[in-house]
Amino acid sequence: MDQTIRFILNGKPVSLSVDGERMLLWVLRTDLGLTGTKFGCGKSLCGACTVIVDGEAVRSCGYPVKDVAGKKVLTIEGLARDGRLHPLQEAFMKHDALQCGYCTPGMILTAYSLLLKNSKPAVSDIVDALNWNLCRCGAHTRIIQAVQDAAGTLTRSPTLSPAFQGGDAKRGSGLTPNKPRHSCRGVEGLTEGARHEKR
C-alpha cells in the first residue's frame, strides 16, 4: 500500500506517495529520473547502486524507500556544487579512473562516505572501503589514486567540502552497512600490492 515518504534529496525536500517496500534504486531511477544511480546486480553485491543516506553509503537496490523517511539522501547528481564538480569527480577524470563508467557513481559515493569519516585515508583504508564495489573494467588502481588525490585536495582546501553531506559523518569502517556477506574481492583482489605502498 502506498504511503507518503518525505526526505531530503540532494539538498531539496521530496514528498512521494509510494509503496514503502519499493527499493530506493527504482524510486530514484524510475520515479524521479535520477539515472546516475546504476542497476548492476540487484542483490547488494556490486555497489553500482550506492547512494549516501545520512552520511553512510548504502546499496539502494536493497534499501526500501520507507527507510529514507526523514533522512538526507545524496546521489551522484547532487555531488557537484555551484556548477563545479566535487574534487572526487575531478580526480576520477584526472586519473582516468574509469573506462565504461558504470561503476563510477557507486565508487565515487562510497569514497565520499569514506572521506567523511577519514579525511586522510591510507591506501589500505581506501582498499577496504571500496573492496565491495566491483569494476568490471579493472580501473581499480587508478580509482585508488583518484581517491588519494581527492583526499589531498580536500585536506588542502576544506572549503571545497560539500555543504550538505547527506547527514552527519560518523566514525566507522567506511564499509557499506548492507555490504555482501560473502567476499567479492573487488578492489582488494586486484590491488594486493597497493596495500604495501607507502602511506
- Residue numbers at the binding site for ligand FES (CB under 6 A): 39-42, 44-49, 59, 61, 98-103, 135-137, 139
- Alpha-carbon span 188 to 199, nearest angstrom: 16
* Residue whose CB is less far from ligand FES, 18 or 41: 41
Q: Closest CB to ligand FES among 47 and 87?
A: 47
Which lies closer to ligand FES via its Cβ, residue 27 or residue 162? 27
Nearer to ligand FES, 29 or 162 (CB): 29
> Would you put residue 83 in left (φ > 0), alpha (ψ -120 to 50) or beta?
left
Q: How far apart are CA 160 and CA 153, in angstroms?
A: 8
| Euclidean distance between CA atoms 192 and 120, whole angstroms | 20
To ligand FES, the closest distance from the beta carbon of 153 in angstroms equals: 21
Query: Are 162 and 79 within 8 A, CB to CB?
Result: yes
Could you tell me how far CA 113 lies from the centroid of its own chain? 6
**Alpha-carbon span 191 to 117, nearest angstrom:** 22
Shortest CB 198 distance to ligand FES, Å? 26
Q: How far is the CB of 64 from ligand FES (least distance, A)?
A: 13
Closest C-alpha among 7, 12, 5 to residue 164: 12
Q: Is the CB of 85 or the CB of 100 nearer to ligand FES?
A: 100
Tell me which residue of 194, 89, 198, 182 sits closest to 140, measured CA to CA: 194
